[in-house]
């Protein structure tokens, strides 16, 4: 009987685009079927019926009350114990519903464990989780997320169907679901166990850590030239170290050069126009590639200082680096020659 | 029997919520660190490349060099290497200052000057500092046989980036990214300044008396 129920559920829940109303109707259908089933059999174990009660009860208070009434109508086999038992259970279920969404996974565990008798493994898990998901998303009032979340759980469930470790799968499903459901509140690090990979807490954390590190290595790869050809962390680190040392050496060399040229600093910088030229030069030279092992010596530029055809207004343009070089040096020539005609 | 099925679930949920709350705290701090790391990575590549940053750095560098020049005119006899070291340190400090204290290496560079001054005073009093260092190095070499290659390289990188010797691996990589971008900008600026000066220099020598 239960298998029949289950198969029907799976058929109806195959399409992910069911609206909320459709689901409610389906649930009511289930209820009716349950009525029939219960009335037919009188030898059901109390546990099974109890689960079904839980199953339905978790969705809707009304449903729960409806099933309550059904069970009360049933014969004396259950007796008053059930009423007593269901009292606290009802509160518990309410408590579960009112608490955060992760609590609701607990009854699923018990149901999973108890429904394994004779039913397939995949479908009950996926179906129960789908129902739970549905409830959660209804609580959050986010219909878009529902589809995504259900897709997530379904894929994650399918991925874990190979593994015979029920507790592990329920734990990780809890984790993933927790991560998904809490995204609107906090930015959780959402880690999902992929198919055929270990799902214990430690390996998940390690995998998250490794992914973080590889992301940062990719950033470094973008900025350091020549890193694309090498694969593996060791090679990339070699390149990075090499590059940093190269840059530091360049800085030292340039500082030595500036130390030699320092007396000229004040003379060259006093003129405002020269300052402007300097800044534009800096900006213009930003387009040069810096991948030079030896800094360029400006000996070749001195020959171009005699160009008088270039407009000094070109100093403000940043288009061609070479043009700005020549124009800047020409302006320097003009100003410095003016300066030394005392 | 019915109750026994129920109550474990309730207790489990109770326990679950407490572990949840415990787990939430490290998660929150992690996400903050994640945001910080993402900011460093994505922005550092861009922030050291903007023209404005370059102009700020260039102007500050010029100012600092002028001050260094004025200070060194008091002592005319200076070896080029000493002057070069001074200029490099000044340039590094200006670079660290333009980082506005968001990165670890910049804070280390700015702090190292103070530390160096303190050490100078201490060295005048004590002269056994050198022996301590050599003893330490020997001890660590004998204790450790050989680290895996990647770890060795990471340590070396930590030594290269100022102030990042005992930093965790992801933070070290972040700092290295920012440091490399900053160094690139520094090289560009100093090259431009050098070019400017060398272009101006022959004019002065030629038109001198």
Q: Which residues of B touch A189 (CB under 8 A)?
A: 27, 30-31, 34
Q: Quick one: pLDDT at residue B69?
A: 76
Please check whether residue B39 touches A, CB under 8 A: no
| Mutate which: A255, A273, A305, vs B, most B CBs within 10 A | A255
Please check whether residue A267 touches B, CB under 8 A: yes
Burial per residue of A167-179, b for 16 or more beta-carbon CB atoms within 10 angstroms, e otherwise: ebbbbbbbbbbbb
Q: Which residues of B touch A333 (CB under 8 A)?
A: 203
More confidently predicted of A330 and A242: A242
As a whole number of angstroms, the distance between CA A58 and CA A131 comes to: 9
| Helices A201-223, A166-181: crossing angle, 10 deg rounding | 50
Q: Quick one: pLDDT at residue A208?
A: 92
Q: Quick one: pLDDT at residue A247?
A: 93
Q: Quick one: pLDDT at residue B109?
A: 84
* φ, ψ of residue B48 in degrees (nearest 5): -85, 0
* φ, ψ of residue B50 in degrees (nearest 5): -70, 150
Q: Which of A138, A262, A81 is nearest to B198 (CA)?
A: A262
Q: Name A197's Cβ contacts closer than 8 Å, sequence gap at least 6.
A: A203, A207
Q: Quick one: pLDDT at residue A196?
A: 72
Q: Name A245's Cβ contacts closer than 8 Å, sequence gap at least 6.
A: B160
Q: Please give the mean pLDDT across all residues of chain A.
A: 56
| Mutate which: B85, B105, B198, vs A, most A CBs within 10 A | B198
As a whole number of angstroms, the distance between CA A5 and CA A28 comes to: 13
Burial per residue of B37-58, b for 16 or more beta-carbon CB atoms within 10 angstroms, e otherwise: beebbeebbebbeeeebbbebb
CA-based nearest residue in chain B for residue A186: B28
- What is the residue-wise DSSP string for B148-177? -HHHHHHHHHHHHSTT-SS--HHHHHHHHH
The whole-angstrom distance between B103's CA and the closest CA on chain A is 16
CB contact under 8 A, A251 and B195: no
CB contact under 8 A, A213 and B169: yes
Cβ contacts of B63-67, under 8 Å, gap ≥ 24? B64/B90, B64/B91, B64/B93, B64/B94, B65/A258, B65/A262, B65/A265, B65/B90, B66/A265, B66/A266, B66/A269
Q: Which of A292, A269, A286 is nearest to A325 (CA)?
A: A286
Q: Quick one: pLDDT at residue A306?
A: 39
pLDDT tens sequence for chain B (209 residues): 554 445 544 444 444 444 544 444 445 455 666 666 566 667 767 777 787 888 888 888 788 877 877 777 766 667 777 888 888 888 888 888 888 778 888 888 888 877 877 887 787 766 555 554 555 555 555 555 677 888 889 999 898 888 888 888 888 998 899 999 999 999 998 888 888 888 876 655 555 45
Answer yes or no: are the C-beta atoms of A160 and A173 closer than 8 Å.
yes
Answer yes or no: are the C-beta atoms of A280 and A315 closer than 8 Å.
yes
Interval A182-224: pLDDT, tens: 444 555 666 666 777 777 889 999 999 999 999 988 888 888 8
Answer yes or no: are the C-beta atoms of A336 and B200 closer than 8 Å.
yes
As a whole number of angstroms, the distance between CA A117 and CA A233 comes to: 50
Q: Quick one: pLDDT at residue A193?
A: 65
More confidently predicted of B110 and A42: B110
By residue count, chain A amounts to: 342
Q: Which residues of A touch B183 (CB under 8 A)?
A: 244, 247-248, 251
Q: Quick one: pLDDT at residue A321?
A: 42
Q: Quick one: pLDDT at residue A249?
A: 93
Q: Which residues of A touch B154 (CB under 8 A)?
A: 237
Give Rg (Cα) of chain B: 26
Largest CA distance in chain B: 111
Residues 171-210 of chain A with CB under 8 A from chain B are: 178, 186-189, 209
Asked if this assembly's ipTM is beyond 0.90, the reply is no
CB contact under 8 A, A286 and B1: no
* Mean per-residue pLDDT, A14-36: 63
Q: Which residues of B touch A48 (CB under 8 A)?
A: none
- Percent share of chain A, pLDDT over 90: 8
Q: Quick one: pLDDT at residue A211?
A: 92
More confidently predicted of A24 and B150: B150
Answer yes or no: are the C-beta atoms of B34 and A189 closer than 8 Å.
yes
By residue count, chain B amounts to: 209
As a whole number of angstroms, the distance between CA A163 and CA A97 comes to: 29
Interval A112-161: pLDDT, tens: 444 444 444 444 444 444 454 444 444 444 444 444 444 444 444 444 44
* Mean per-residue pLDDT, A13-42: 61
More confidently predicted of B178 and A272: B178
As a whole number of angstroms, the distance between CA A326 and CA A282 comes to: 13
Instruction: Look at residue A240 and tell me whether its pLDDT is greater than 60.
Output: yes
Q: Quick one: pLDDT at residue A243?
A: 93
Instruction: Look at residue A179 and tell me whether its pLDDT is greater than 60.
Output: no
E strands, A125-203, are none
């Amino acid at each position: 009987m239960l298998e029949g129920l289950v198969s029907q559920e799976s058929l109806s829940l195959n399409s992910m685009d069911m609206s909320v109303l459709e689901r409610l109707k389906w649930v009511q259908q289930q209820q009716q079927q349950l009525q029939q089933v219960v009335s037919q059999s009188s030898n059901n174990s109390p546990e099974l019926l109890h689960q079904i009660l839980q199953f339905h009860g978790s969705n809707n208070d009304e449903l729960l009350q409806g099933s309550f009434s059904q069970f009360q109508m049933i014969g004396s086999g259950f007796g008053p114990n059930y009423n007593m038992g269901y009292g606290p259970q009802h509160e518990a279920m309410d408590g579960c519903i009112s608490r955060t969404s992760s609590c609701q996974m607990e009854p699923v565990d018990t149901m999973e464990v108890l429904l394994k008798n004779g039913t397939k493994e995949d479908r009950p898990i996926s179906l129960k989780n789908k129902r739970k998901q549905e409830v959660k998303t209804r609580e959050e009032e986010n219909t878009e997320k529902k589809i995504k979340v259900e897709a997530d759980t379904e894929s994650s469930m399918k991925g874990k169907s190979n593994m015979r470790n029920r507790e592990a799968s329920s734990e990780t499903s809890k984790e993933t679901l927790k991560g998904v459901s809490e995204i609107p509140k906090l930015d959780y690090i959402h880690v999902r166990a992929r198919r055929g990979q270990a799902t214990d807490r430690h390996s998940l954390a390690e995998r998250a850590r490794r992914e973080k590190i590889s992301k940062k290595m990719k950033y470094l790869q973008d900025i350091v030239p020549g890193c694309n050809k090498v694969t593996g962390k060791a090679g990339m680190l070699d390149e990075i170290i090499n590059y940093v040392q190269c840059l530091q050496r360049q800085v030292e060399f340039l500082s030595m050069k500036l130390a030699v040229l320092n007396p000229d600093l004040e003379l060259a910088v006093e003129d405002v126009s020269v300052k402007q030229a300097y800044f534009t030069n800096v900006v213009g030279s930003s387009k040069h590639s810096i991948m030079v092992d030896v800094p360029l010596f400006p000996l070749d530029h001195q020959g171009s200082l005699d160009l008088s055809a270039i407009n000094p207004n070109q100093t403000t343009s940043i288009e061609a680096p070479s043009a700005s070089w020549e124009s800047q040096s020409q302006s320097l020539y003009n100003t410095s020659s003016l300066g030394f005609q005392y | 029997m019915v109750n026994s099925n129920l109550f474990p679930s309730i207790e489990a949920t109770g326990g679950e919520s407490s572990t949840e709350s415990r787990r939430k705290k490290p998660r929150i701090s992690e996400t903050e660190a994640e945001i910080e790391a993402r900011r460093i990575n994505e922005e550092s590549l861009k922030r050291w490349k903007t023209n404005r940053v370059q102009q700020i750095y260039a102007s500050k560098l010029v100012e600092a060099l002028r001050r260094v020049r004025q200070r060194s005119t008091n002592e005319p006899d200076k070896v080029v290497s000493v002057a070069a070291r001074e200029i490099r340190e000044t340039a590094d400090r200006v670079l660290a200052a333009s980082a506005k204290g968001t990165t670890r290496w910049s804070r280390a560079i700015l702090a190292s000057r103070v530390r160096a001054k303190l050490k100078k005073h201490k060295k005048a009093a004590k002269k056994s500092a050198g022996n301590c260092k050599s003893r330490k190095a020997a001890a660590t070499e004998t204790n450790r046989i050989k680290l895996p290659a990647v770890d060795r390289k990471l340590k070396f990188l930590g030594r290269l980036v100022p102030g990042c010797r005992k930093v965790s691996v992801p933070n070290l990589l972040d700092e290295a990214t920012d440091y490399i971008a900053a160094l690139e900008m520094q090289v560009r600026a100093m090259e431009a300044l050098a070019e400017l000066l060398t272009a101006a220099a022959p004019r002065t020598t030629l038109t001198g008396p």
